[in-house]
Structure 1
């Protein structure tokens, strides 16, 4: 599934049935027949939607990733104070975890490396999560905490992942409407402690892998382009077409060695739109390539 493209309800039904089975039996012990049976369709109907079980799991990763990305982006568009916005985003993530617990259980329990695109997507998810946290920290505290961004991200990730692990693995039920604000207050405690004690940063920007820094910038521009396209009033078919191209670019640029020729060809779709000229130039600069005429 590519961002912005609506998925067939039967396809979603198959994905959700498959994730439940993977969580119970494991990916490798679950057959296509069982996935189809769990969704109430024939094995032949499964292959109308997916080429193989590998294609199935890759599509599932894209589906769930885009689901949570869309929900976070919707909160970002709301007119909220930075602390309230971040707290609500954490609340959205928490509700997502409860809703799609089967997928997350499978993801944590299974060591699945299906194909290059899935591994690239996971790498992209990690990079965007880093950027998401950094952006919220910057929005709340400003540049006064810039030296501590990395340390705060690491501690914040540990705090959230701890609660999420207890929800997914240990099955605890907590007040979903309280967790976001609670974590933001704990983040305030971390920030004030670092700032008041004038702690020397333990992890600096130099420690961050370059692949994170590049992906963070490129993916942020691509998502900004996606949002700009949605607001242009273009025909729905055109929006879906461009969103699909952005999805392919997100996957390609997340690879350790992205193919510049592919990206150059895909960027042509956006170079023809005057409102996206600046973004195209910035992507070319970050990826050290020329734009095609």
Structure 2
């Protein structure tokens, strides 16, 4: 994403937090950024589109930080604690913005935002599941979804206390204690030979088998549409990216490189954000 778009996003989020999304006009955002209203529309086609880009921007920031942690030479348990800490800290940083959305119920109901939130919800399920299997191994496979959803529920409870009640936690200790709760649950399943309520079959009904493949097809279609109207060098970048997306085992390093080229181009921020979120790059 180009610097000017980031500049607008960072100023807009402060206005939304202070004044509210509905009450903040595009003209006020432009004034705050020291640009014309027309210049705003060169970067974002509407205020709703700006809000969607804010979601992509901050989800990407968290993803980058968790990717850095994943690359470190740490035990899975310590990695998960650090990843949870990053997520808590980013949410705390933008507490006022989140309160604004809760207060106003400000998220506009449109297809793009609905799909983004659905995709992030499913990604969150898989984030917990993957990290729990990394920590405890395949021995929890039968009940991993139950532990996943319980741990997410604990996370959301702490978030409510932080956001709504403004409780100040020692975040590192909080994350360590969360994982201890997971230890108790895992040991309970093993010791009592309990059967999970939340099964693989149940989650397959919630997350359709073709959900991610459909998302990928939509992203490829969007790229193909943009390719036709793009300059030659951008067409070449898209061609390389499209070739990579159809590979049986896409090379994330190549995808990341092509996306870096595209995210500086006007009109590509949303699709770049979608692909980054899909491939975690």
Query: Is TM > 0.5 for Structure 1 vs Structure 2?
Result: yes
Alpha-carbon shift at residue 215 of structure 1 (Å): 6.7
The alignment status of 1:98 with 2:123, answered yes or no, reads no
Which residue does the alignment assign to 1:229?
254
Q: Deviations over 1:193-217 (max 9, x none)?
A: 2221221211111111446254776
Instruction: Name the SS of the counterpart of 1:208 in structure 2.
Output: helix
Alpha-carbon shift at residue 23 of structure 1 (Å): 3.1
Structure 2: how far apart are the matches of 1:175 and 1:216?
Answer: 37
Instruction: Name the SS of the counterpart of 1:80 in structure 2.
Output: coil
Which residue does the alignment assign to 1:257?
none
- Mean CA deviation greater in 133-142 or 240-249: 240-249
Question: Contact conserved, 2:5 with 2:43, CA < 8 A, in 1?
Answer: yes
Residue of 109, 118, 121 corresponding to 2:113: 118
Structure 1: how far apart are the matches of 2:269 and 2:8?
Answer: 25
Instruction: Name the SS of the counterpart of 2:198 in structure 1.
Output: coil
Which residue does the alignment assign to 2:261?
240
RMSD of aligned Cα (Å): 3.4
Q: Deviations over 1:135-192 (max 9, x none)?
A: 0111111121112112111110011111112212222221123222221112111211
Question: Contact conserved, 1:17 with 1:38, CA < 8 A, in 2?
Answer: yes
Q: How many residues align?
A: 243
Question: Contact conserved, 2:80 with 2:131, CA < 8 A, in 1?
Answer: yes
Question: Contact conserved, 1:19 with 1:106, CA < 8 A, in 2?
Answer: no
Question: Contact conserved, 1:120 with 1:251, CA < 8 A, in 2?
Answer: no
Residue of 170, 178, 181 corresponding to 2:176: 181
When residues 37 and 177 of structure 1 are mapped into structure 2, their CA distance, relative to the original with a 3 A threshold, is farther
- Mean CA deviation greater in 45-54 or 162-171: 45-54
Question: Contact conserved, 1:23 with 1:103, CA < 8 A, in 2?
Answer: yes
Which aligned runs of 4 or more in structure 1 are off by greater than 6 angstroms?
A: 219-222, 242-247
When residues 53 and 246 of structure 1 are mapped into structure 2, their CA distance, relative to the original with a 3 A threshold, is closer
Instruction: For 1:49-128, list aligned pairs within 5 A.
Output: 49-109=43-103, 110-128=105-123
TM-score when normalising by structure 1: 0.71
When residues 192 and 49 of structure 1 are mapped into structure 2, their CA distance, relative to the original with a 3 A threshold, is same
When residues 238 and 92 of structure 1 are mapped into structure 2, their CA distance, relative to the original with a 3 A threshold, is closer
Alpha-carbon shift at residue 42 of structure 1 (Å): 4.0
Question: Contact conserved, 1:156 with 1:187, CA < 8 A, in 2?
Answer: yes
- Mean CA deviation greater in 202-211 or 81-90: 202-211
When residues 199 and 250 of structure 1 are mapped into structure 2, their CA distance, relative to the original with a 3 A threshold, is farther
Which residue does the alignment assign to 2:21?
27
TM-score when normalising by structure 2: 0.73
The alignment status of 1:193 with 2:214, answered yes or no, reads no
Structure 1: how far apart are the matches of 2:48 and 2:269?
Answer: 22
Question: Contact conserved, 1:19 with 1:102, CA < 8 A, in 2?
Answer: no
Q: Deviations over 1:205-242 (max 9, x none)?
A: 111144625477658997x84633278xxxx5675349
Question: Contact conserved, 1:150 with 1:204, CA < 8 A, in 2?
Answer: yes
Q: Deviations over 1:103-154 (max 9, x none)?
A: 4334444242353222111111011111010001111111211121121111
The alignment status of 1:148 with 2:143, answered yes or no, reads yes
Instruction: Name the SS of the counterpart of 1:51 in structure 2.
Output: coil
